[in-house]
Structure 1
């Protein structure tokens, strides 16, 4: 199971009765999966769960996973993409119309694009994560683990504990792993870090534990903001990390030494003109959530704004790009 992050959803958590969500399941081909994912993002999905039939045989267990992931929920063929919307939004007709438009415009074999729905209670959704969320050895010195599991740790290891709840970002997706591995190398003692689209807060927590002096985490989703705050408390980094609501850079002030944004390619391109104003001279920008076909487009958009590509990291057809202010 992979999760493609974004930052748009509203909801409640631990402050009253949980709300109901509608899970929309769209069965596509591998070729058409990215177009469906993009459509769901445009519809306002906070994140997209990707269940790939290939993982039944090609990746029964990843080398960095410390437990055995379940594959029983995976489709027998193609890809199932899942998106969650509040039940009150009634997105069914809009999603089916958008799918039809995508299919008409595209030359790709996208399959039947069947849409199934199911009402999911917030507490049920949260519990579902525990079925296939195992500790992950991200690097030699970094472990990401669910807060309800105990892991043995070495004296030099950094351990990030997470309860993702209704926020996306468990540390398991390739886009997150790429960010974490890059952050481990660029975060210096006392660095100021901005995390755009923080989700569960995993990148902010890691940055704080890598030695950052101050981390400011932002998300457009109130649910994610609340979940991230809880995860800061679990990891005892509240003194270093502040979490606030902001749609990309709309409510962000001040500069930082490092900006990290694990979003999607089109969103990164859209925010490109706003990044430089929030980054110190020679500061680093780390972006991820980029499919292979979009990496050149993203690089060019950021280079146009005065950034220089330092390195690219790739895993499972996903790319993270590390850039630096060129002035």
Structure 2
């Protein structure tokens, strides 16, 4: 699998916007840099017309300059070490890489050594999902993380006392990286699967289903999620903007859910549903 690399220089205020827009057209990995963002996409999924439309939309207002290239397989941990800072979520979750000092005073510590995986806790959607997880009882529960990226949400479920955790992603880089992160967090019995929810076809039902993907995928797969969530179980969703909440909520209601909570950050949203 070969990745295309786009080094995008832009105004600071447009970094999150460009990450969001490029995520919608298939880009799955990003690095924030001093001058903008580096964006990555698997060559086989690259849609040049959609990409060009995003760049053209913000070219002038964001003062965009782009350097394009092919991503060689590099030491991704080394690259992240240059840009990656630890984060705190609600003063009770500390997400760090192995090269950061631990904080033993924080209740939950998550070790993440990201490669090309989305979901380090820095993006608003991951932060929001972690925040939601803190208010949902995971003890003794069966949990599945759909589109798991680095595996951070599955790791959080484990830290919160889930009795069984499953996770999968469509990207083999994520699977490799997720399994490494599981090992770092004492989850050697959990292995990340590869494929879409239809391809993986999880067996049985779950107390908690987590999905931080994007609006179009969520709308397409919500009926499947409904079949996976136990009655009175919870579905946690993110990966979309606040203005997308009505569409997500309407679809979720149509397949048997009711919304019980919502959070937003930097125009991104995360929702908690209960299966009724």
TM range (shorter): 0.7 to 0.9
Superposed, 1:137-152 pairs within 5 Å as 137-152=88-103
1:133 match? 84
> With CA pairs under 8 Å and 6+ residues apart, which has the higher RCO, 1 or 2?
1
Query: What is the TM-score when the length of structure 2 is the normalising length?
Result: 0.86
1:68 match? none
For residues 100 and 163 of structure 1, what CA distance do their matches in structure 2 show?
32
Aligned-partner SS, 1:250: helix
C-alpha change, 1:305 and 1:221, in structure 2 (3 Å) is same
| Number of matched pairs | 274
Q: Is 1:153 paired with 2:85?
A: no
2:157 match? 207
For residues 177 and 58 of structure 2, what CA distance do their matches in structure 1 show?
40
* Per-residue Cα deviation, 1:237-267 (whole angstroms, up to 9, x for no partner): 223x332112134312221000011111222
Residue number among 250, 262, 274 corresponding to 2:199 in the alignment? 250
Contact map agreement 1:28 1:110 (CA 8 A) in 2: no
Q: Is 1:312 paired with 2:262?
A: yes
Contact map agreement 2:29 2:116 (CA 8 A) in 1: no
1:74 match? 34
**Looking at CA atoms only, which structure, 1 or 2, has the larger radius of gyration?**
1
C-alpha change, 1:33 and 1:110, in structure 2 (3 Å) is farther
For residues 284 and 300 of structure 1, what CA distance do their matches in structure 2 show?
16
Aligned-partner SS, 2:197: coil
1:84 match? 40
Query: What is the TM-score when the length of structure 1 is the normalising length?
Result: 0.74
For residues 156 and 230 of structure 2, what CA distance do their matches in structure 1 show?
21
Alpha-carbon offset, residue 294 of structure 1: 1.4
For residues 89 and 245 of structure 1, what CA distance do their matches in structure 2 show?
17
Aligned-partner SS, 2:154: helix
For residues 244 and 210 of structure 2, what CA distance do their matches in structure 1 show?
18
For residues 283 and 130 of structure 1, what CA distance do their matches in structure 2 show?
38
1:288 match? 238
For residues 107 and 129 of structure 1, what CA distance do their matches in structure 2 show?
26
* Per-residue Cα deviation, 1:262-317 (whole angstroms, up to 9, x for no partner): 11122211211211111111110000122122122211221221210000011222
Aligned-partner SS, 2:234: strand
Deviates more, 1:118-127 or 1:297-306: 118-127
Contact map agreement 1:220 1:246 (CA 8 A) in 2: yes
Contact map agreement 2:142 2:162 (CA 8 A) in 1: yes
Contact map agreement 1:246 1:252 (CA 8 A) in 2: no
Residue number among 29, 35, 44 corresponding to 1:47 in the alignment? 29
C-alpha change, 1:115 and 1:248, in structure 2 (3 Å) is farther
For residues 121 and 58 of structure 2, what CA distance do their matches in structure 1 show?
34
C-alpha change, 1:230 and 1:276, in structure 2 (3 Å) is same
C-alpha change, 1:102 and 1:325, in structure 2 (3 Å) is same
Can you give the 5+ residue segments of structure 1 that lack an aligned partner in the other structure?
1-10, 12-19, 52-72
Q: Is 1:98 paired with 2:54?
A: no
Residue number among 137, 144, 149 corresponding to 1:187 in the alignment? 137
